[in-house]
Amino acid sequence: MSKDLMNKSDYYYDLPKEYIAQTPMIPRDACKMLCVEKNNPFNYSDKIFSGIYDMLKPGDVLVMNNSKVLPARLYGTKVPTGAACEFLMLKQFEQDVWECAVHPGKRLQKGHVVSFGDGVLKGEIIDVLDNGDRKVKFTYDTQTLFEALDIVGKLPLPHYITEELKDSSLYQTEYAKILGSAAAPTAGLHFTKDLMKRLEDKGVIIAYITLHVGIGTFRPVKSENILEHEMHSEWFEISKETAEIISKAKEEGRRVISVGTTSTRTLEACYSKFGDVRACSMDTNIFIYPGYKFGVIDGLITNFHLPESTLIMLVSAFAGYENTMAAYKHAVENKYRFYSFGDAMFIY
């Protein structure tokens, strides 16, 4: 292990493929939950996620990302040749103009048009970006772009999920509201409406932020020195109501518990810029790895992430590197389910 933990290989762990969850747990809160104490390393307890009810206290604030996944994967044909094409919508530049990853890239250049769903939706490539993605202007026969996407689009499941999802709602959180993500904030998939109501009845406060998850969350760290990794940028918004809830909790010494790495990045990006949590909306490319000093969160509910990913680096920054890697080893040995549809970890 390197002393400064700046090597990508420090964050590698061996995972048998059969532990990668291919389908979601039903009911959502019946998955396993590994409880990890920040200040008492290597002391793990195995629970069921519904047991989070007993782990949370009145006055705790749960911060959830209410972004909703777009049906952003599009299969169409090039006009007029009829050649098969695939688009993945990544980020909105302005109304109806999006950054898209396209395939096959060599055959899709500026000025080319692709038709989706027999012309219900069309995309014209108006620029080729430096990173190889395309800037695409969409036109449609429906009233809005989102209505067209509902007709022709598919949810962009991560590459490691190879089974078809028969019910697309299972890849949305129960509280998903604001369309814009290319991937689900998966830590929130474990919450049922009934569990959330029980928590609120107990006195747990639920506050919402919005961060639109980009597909960059799945892009691997390629450089061995993690400081050379170019972090993807994502848009987030914190409302005045949420900022006030969190600020009051911090003043009164109550816990702020982030549901997922996206909520964590939102809160910490705001704190890093302003020194507190306030109403704001902006892009962030914050990269959190060991050595980072957290300013907001006191607890984290998260899934088990890919080896050598920026997400396991974030978890290592919060729980401690050795504590995190030992917890992952415990999860593998106890046959936890990993990644987007997998089990949960509660770090407190």
Cβ neighbourhood burial of 270 (10 Å; 0-12, 13-18, 19+): buried
Strand partners, 206: 62
What pLDDT does residue 214 have? 86
pLDDT band per the 50, 70, 90 thresholds, residue 216 = confident
What pLDDT does residue 306 have? 96
Strand partners, 33: 47, 344
C-alpha to C-alpha distance for 313 and 331, rounded to whole angstroms: 17
pLDDT tens sequence across 105-123: 999 999 999 999 999 999 9
CB 324 within 8 A of CB 315: yes
pLDDT tens sequence across 62-121: 999 999 999 999 999 999 999 999 999 988 899 999 999 999 999 999 999 999 999 999
Triad 323, 343, 182: Cα angle to 5°: 105
6: three-class secondary structure by DSSP: coil
Mean pLDDT, rounded, of the chain: 95
| Helical packing angle, 310-319 and 261-274, nearest 10° | 70
pLDDT band per the 50, 70, 90 thresholds, residue 284 = very high
Instruction: State the residue for tokens 């009145």.
Output: 58
CB 185 within 8 A of CB 214: no
* 3 pLDDT more than 60: no
Q: CA torsion 2→319→331→337, rounded to 10°?
A: -110
What pLDDT does residue 1 have? 41
How much is the average pLDDT of 136-149? Answer: 96
Radius of gyration of the chain (CA): 20
Buried b (16+ CB within 10 A) or exposed e, 227-263: eebeebebbbbbeeebbebbeebbeeebbbbbbbbbb
How much is the average pLDDT of 211-226? Answer: 87
CA distances from 100 to 190, 240, 275 (A): 29, 32, 34
* 258 pLDDT more than 60: yes
- Is the previous residue joined to 220 through a cis bond, with omega within 30 degrees of 0? no
What pLDDT does residue 203 have? 98
pLDDT tens sequence across 246-257: 999 999 999 999
C-alpha to C-alpha distance for 271 and 265, rounded to whole angstroms: 10
pLDDT tens sequence across 15-34: 999 999 999 999 999 999 99
How much is the average pLDDT of 139-165? Answer: 93
pLDDT band per the 50, 70, 90 thresholds, residue 309 = very high
What pLDDT does residue 325 have? 98
Which of these, 147, 162, 148, lies nearest to 118 by C-alpha position? 148
276: three-class secondary structure by DSSP: coil
Buried b (16+ CB within 10 A) or exposed e, 161-173: beeebeeeebbbb
How much is the average pLDDT of 133-137? Answer: 97
How much is the average pLDDT of 23-46? Answer: 96
Strand partners, 146: none
Q: What is the separation, in whole angstroms, between the first and last Cα of the chain?
A: 25
What pLDDT does residue 217 have? 72
Beta strands in the chain (DSSP E): 32-36, 44-48, 61-65, 67-69, 73-79, 84-94, 97-103, 113-116, 121-128, 134-140, 178-181, 205-211, 234-238, 256-259, 280-284, 299-303, 344-347
What pLDDT does residue 220 have? 87
C-alpha to C-alpha distance for 191 and 28, rounded to whole angstroms: 6
How much is the average pLDDT of 164-173? Answer: 93
CA distances from 168 to 34, 47, 156, 348 (A): 27, 27, 10, 32
